[in-house]
Amino acid sequence: MKIVIAGTGYVGLVTGTCLSEVGHNVLCVDIDEKKVELMKDGISPIYEPDLEELIKKNYKAGRLDFTTDYANAFKDSDTIFIAVGTPEREDGSANLDYVYNVAKQIAENIEKDCLIVIKSTVPIGVNDQIEAFIKENLKNNVKIEVASNPEFLAQGTAVNDTLNASRIVIGVESKTAEEILREVYNRFNQPIVVTSRRSAEMIKYASNDFLALKISFINEVANLCELVGANVEDVSLGMSYDPRIGNKFLNPGLGYGGSCFPKDTKALQWFAETNGYEIKTVKATIEVNQFQKFRLLRKAKKRFKKLSGLKVAVLGLTFKPGTDDLRDAPSIPNVKMLLEEGAEVVVYDPVGMDNFKRLFTDQVKYAAEPGEALKDADAAFIFTEWQQIKELSLKEYKQLMKNAVIFDGRNCYSLKDAEAADVEYYSIGRPNVNC
């Protein structure tokens, strides 16, 4: 079976690499020539643990290849995965331009019967529309069918999430399509959930939006804990023993970010409204998340009254550890606000600083390690719980900073350690220490 992956972003590149890792022959297509050459040289264009090693291994073994020649790639394919981005439009809807561009290329170039698999996250009903669009634009007398196969990988653990998925969801309208996808995934030894295409599309949105809702819920609880003197960590622990709730996504912080949750919550809200329905829980999830991003800044402004002239250390820039992705990261609007307030900002992140420099070139200073950022600072903000940051002892904050005032948006340190280190410590959903 000849498998072609259209798009080499997080989803496409990880999917293609992992399919080759289990023995399939995979050809990845992208229009970016520089990107393709990088991948042929064994260099991953995205930061993702374990991915680059698998690219090198499978490219060398001849099971994985890359090209910009989509016409030849699609021509005699058995299965084509569409894994291009569906970014958020201004109104919150999903931008499907890239999906339709690939669909048009497929329609104009395939020369044999083919199954087209939509891996991209698309609103409910789009698989039906893409199938109709391709059939209307076919240049050759071939049979095609479209199937939905949503992804459930998380940035930072994407390779493991693909190779050891909790489930594989396939949305099909025929036994033939089901059999082909079962053959694609039979080497993964994971549960396969077979549904209609529309149900598969909804499973993706419902899953992501439920997790986003869970994050916003615990952040609301954390904010209330601060007001009434409770400790959200104790609350989360007590909740986690209930198997109906579990212990995942119950860590309070500065909200969710990244490439999925922000756009998928807005897309489902928009889609529901266009169908005459308001999903109140999703709407509230979005509102809470936007408010939560500035939780630390509000604490800092209350503590200092004004931030002008202060030297501020920012530790962690990416939206979560294990990735260089800055999409919807709390660091971006907070650094903007700090600069607007007149603060001098020094930032540190183990992998995200190159991307951050594209947004803030001369406005902020960049430190090679956490201690350098903390040197003589009046305040420190922790936006990402990187291990390099968590390993920094609170005594070092005390020694390095002009004033050891710490605003921890990820609860990296225990209250006991903060008290022992004699630092002024503000966190999320817990009592302030030495304040």
CATH 1.10.1040.10 placement within the chain: 203-291
| Alpha helix positions (H), 142-196 | 158-163, 175-185
How is residue 110 annotated by DSSP?
A: -
pLDDT of residue 189: 85
CB 213 within 8 A of CB 189: no
Q: Round to whole Å and give the CA distance between 115 and 251.
A: 41
Q: Round to whole Å and give the CA distance between 149 and 197.
A: 9
**What is the SS3 string spanning 372-415?**
HHHCCCCEEEECCCCHHHHCCCHHHHHHHCCCCEEEECCCCCCH
User: Does residue 18 carry a catalytic annotation?
Assistant: no
CB 221 within 8 A of CB 249: no
**Tokens 């266009």 sit on residue:** 274
- Name the CATH topology of 203-291: N-(1-d-carboxylethyl)-l-norvaline Dehydrogenase; domain 2 (1.10.1040)
pLDDT of residue 332: 98
Q: Which residues contact 107 (CB under 8 A, 6 or more apart)?
A: 133, 134, 135, 136, 137, 138, 139
Q: Span 3-195: which CATH code?
A: 3.40.50.720
Q: Which of 28, 114, 225, 260 is catalytic?
A: 260
Which residues in the chain land under pLDDT 50? none
pLDDT of residue 1: 85
Mean pLDDT over the full length of the chain: 96
CATH 3.40.50.720 placement within the chain: 3-195, 293-426
- Give the count of beta carbons closer than 10 Å to the beta carbon of residue 145: 18
Q: Which CATH architecture has domain 293-426?
A: 3-Layer(aba) Sandwich (3.40)
- Give the count of beta carbons closer than 10 Å to the beta carbon of residue 435: 11
Q: Where are the beta strands (DSSP E) in 16-57?
A: 26-29
Rounded-to-10 torsion of CA 385, 389, 393, 396: -130
